[in-house]
Structure 1
Amino acid sequence: MKGYVHIYTGNGKGKTTAAFGLALRASGAEKKVFIAQFVKGKPYSEIKAIENYLPEVDLKQYGRGCFIVKEPTDADIEATQHGLNEIAVLVKSERYDLIILDEIFIALHYKLISIEAVIELITNKPANLELVLTGRYAPDEIIELADLVTEMKEVKHYYQKGVQARKGIEF
């Protein structure tokens, strides 16, 4: 079966959730799934759900436990580049049917990795691998390579009324 490249991007909520929904569906079809979370390094609720209910889905975070607010540190860059190198090996191994690169576009936005490295990963993927990339700020060069692009658009959000992120809903 041919694998495609998916992008979930935009300023709206739901990019990671859409990717995790696809992981759930693939897992239910007995496909082998790997989720790489870039920039993220905290124990979000979706990670607990994977660990508790989908142990056959492999997940690894390549963040340092804090969100990058200003300039990324050398440690942020090193963690992200290490993650991309590990993913490149996994892609070539053909061990997985679906690989999700969650927040890869945020890593690109903060210049933690090069766009060339991500393009190389996409163009060298095995034909049967389904590859999903998420995050705000998807570059046009990568959108051009994708087979499916969904832009999440924020129309209205309760954050604008001062509502903080809620456990189990936003994290």
Structure 2
Amino acid sequence: MTGYVHIYTGNGKGKTTAAFGLTLRASGADKKVFIAQFVKGKTYSEIKAIQNYLPQIELKQYGRGCFIVNDPTEADIQAAQQGLREIMELVKSERYDLIILDEIFIALHYKLISVEAVTELITNKPANLELVLTGRYAPDEIIELADLVTEMKEVNHYYQKGVPARKGIEF
């Protein structure tokens, strides 16, 4: 089976949710899945669901919390770079059918990792590996390498009306 490169990007809600939906589908088809979450370092509801109900899915976070309101620290940079090194080894291992790089574009946007390193990862992936990259600010040079690109566009969002993120819906 041929594996493709998917991108879920844009300012709208649903990028991570789309990737996790694909994870659920792949898991139901007995595919081996690895999820790498860049920038994120907190326990979100989707992580609890995987831990409690889908232990065959592996997930690792390469973030230390949420620095988005501040500048990233050297420790944030090191966590992202270590994550990318580990992902490169996992890709080479061919142990997984689907690898998700959640919020990889945020890591790129904040210069925690390089576009060249992500480009190298994509161009050297095994032919049968399905690779999903998510996050705002997907760079054009990576979009050009993708087989499927979906841009989430915010048309209306209740957050703009003062509704805070809700457990089980946004986190």
The reply to whether TM is greater than 0.5 is yes
CA deviation string 1:5-54 (max 9, x = no partner): 00000000000000000000000000000000000000000000011111
1:157 aligns with 2:161: no
The corresponding residue for 2:58 is: 58
Of residues 66-75 and 97-106 in structure 1, the stretch that sits farther from structure 2 once superposed is 66-75
Please state how far the C-alpha of 1:67 moved relative to its aligned partner: 3.1
CA deviation string 1:128-148 (max 9, x = no partner): 000000000000000000000
1:89 aligns with 2:106: no
What percentage of aligned pairs have identical amino acids? 88
Structure 2 unaligned spans of 5+: none
1:134 aligns with 2:134: yes
Q: TM-score, normalised by structure 1?
A: 0.99
Please state how far the C-alpha of 1:68 moved relative to its aligned partner: 2.6
The corresponding residue for 2:16 is: 16
Please state how far the C-alpha of 1:66 moved relative to its aligned partner: 2.7
Structure 1 runs of 4+ with >4 Å offset = none
Q: Which residue type is aligned with residue 69 of structure 1?
A: V
The corresponding residue for 2:5 is: 5
Pairwise mapping of residues 34-73 of structure 1 onto structure 2 (< 5 A)?
Answer: 34-73=34-73
In structure 1, C-alpha distance between the alignment counterparts of 2:37 and 2:120, rounded to whole Å: 19
Pairwise mapping of residues 93-112 of structure 1 onto structure 2 (< 5 A)?
Answer: 93-112=93-112
The corresponding residue for 1:33 is: 33
Q: Secondary structure of the equivalent of 1:156?
A: coil
Q: Which residue type is aligned with residue 75 of structure 2?
A: A
Q: Once superposed, what is the RMSD of the aligned Cα atoms?
A: 0.6
Q: Secondary structure of the equivalent of 2:21?
A: helix
Structure 1 unaligned spans of 5+: none
The corresponding residue for 1:123 is: 123
Please state how far the C-alpha of 1:70 moved relative to its aligned partner: 2.8
Q: TM-score, normalised by structure 2?
A: 0.99
For these two proteins, the number of residue pairs brought into alignment is 171
